[in-house]
Structure 1
Amino acid sequence: MNINEELKNILEWVICIIIAVVLGLWIRYYIMTPTQVQSVSMKPTLIESQRLILNRTIRLTHKLPERGDIITFEAPTEDYLTEAEFKESPTARYEEPENKFVHNVLEIGKVSYIKRVIALPGEHVKIQNGKVYINGEELEEDYLSSSVRTEAEGGLLVDFTVPEGTVFAMGDNRAESHDCRAFGCIPQDKIESIVLFRFWPFDKFGKVE
């Protein structure tokens, strides 16, 4: 084998590796990816260390999730909306990352939350006496433990209308969930995925509702 053939073989391997990496990143960003539950905010539906498959085709279809869907989204820059920000718009605030590719695609240094969609654009939300009301009607939440009450938890979003192009989401473990009540509604372009199913532990394998 001469030097030219060796270089050709090396180049072919390099090209194959580059294609594999690009394809892998594309699938992970636009199709699906695994993840592990790392908080208690979705108990009893999701428990710490459980493993999930996330459907990320929402980034291709540009469709909003439906009420009841469990989604992941980029954590807002601000933990709490100020009263002035809330009056301006009850929407979560984000700062532009220094390197969008590293932040959005490689997801290095990026923090994501997992919550359940409660209300959709244009809907009026009111949290009162431990219950959630959508457009004046009490929301049935069979997925919650019977003892769970929904309170403000220090946030301002207890009586408002969901802005267009956003969703309002909360954790099922309402007392231990830092969610849209505090930091505001999530813009569509910050929604990363919808939980498809749980694959670990095996006795909990299946669709998550």
Structure 2
Amino acid sequence: MERQKSKRKWILGIIGVVILIGGFLRWGVLQPYLIRQPSMEPGLASGDRIVVNRLAYRGWDPTRGDVVVFAFPKDLKRTFVKRVIAAEGETVELRDNKVFVNGDVIEEPYVKPGDYPPYGPEVVPAGKVFVLGDNRRESEDSREWGLLPREYLLGKALLVYYPFQRFRFFTI
């Protein structure tokens, strides 16, 4: 009898620890996010659900190609998803429907084809990043509201988990 009580306590303790760890991961480290706009098509469509690593930029710098979730600079209650195109110290320019970073064209196989206006050149200062949507014609991004302060970054996208047929991990 005493052995069963002890076993029950252990099982309840393990379940409690699993719930605590799951809650910490869900609310502290990994956070689900719903894509609501077409600005990241074709890679992310409206209705896609992604998982975001909220610790990604605590101690690490954002790098070119990262898909990031951030507080919108004009309304910090709203969140956006974009791609980091240039980090601090880099020079960014858009012309002839191509993106140049430090004078070199960057390969962007993820971009939805289409025309978009020129921008820059502009040097990204310390503490900021330049972000663009993959669907440049439908994206409100750094071209419109300026460089993104690094402290507005909420996390780095890890994977698409829904719809299931679109499941994939993020890569550049």
* Length-normalised TM-score, structure 1: 0.67
Q: 2:62 aligns with which of 45, 54, 65?
A: 65
Q: Deviations over 1:71-107 (max 9, x none)?
A: 01100127xxxxxxxxxxxxxxx7xxxxxxxxxxxxx
Unmatched tracts of structure 1, length 5 or more: 1-15, 79-93, 95-109
- Conservation of the 8 A alpha-carbon contact between 1:131 and 1:149: no
Who is 1:39 aligned against?
Answer: 37
CA distance in 1, matches of 2:38, 2:59: 29
1:11-22 correspondence to structure 2 within 5 Å: none
Moved over 3 A (4+): 26-30
Who is 1:170 aligned against?
Answer: 132
Who is 1:105 aligned against?
Answer: none
Query: Cα distance, 1:144 vs. partner?
Result: 1.4
- Aligned-CA RMSD value: 2.2
* Length-normalised TM-score, structure 2: 0.80
Query: Cα distance, 1:192 vs. partner?
Result: 0.3
Q: 1:48 aligns with which of 46, 49, 52?
A: 46
CA distance in 2, matches of 1:189, 1:196: 19
1:48-197 correspondence to structure 2 within 5 Å: 48-59=46-57, 61-77=58-74, 110-145=77-112, 147-152=113-118, 158-197=120-159
Unmatched tracts of structure 2, length 5 or more: 1-15
Query: Cα distance, 1:186 vs. partner?
Result: 1.2
CA distance in 1, matches of 2:104, 2:120: 15
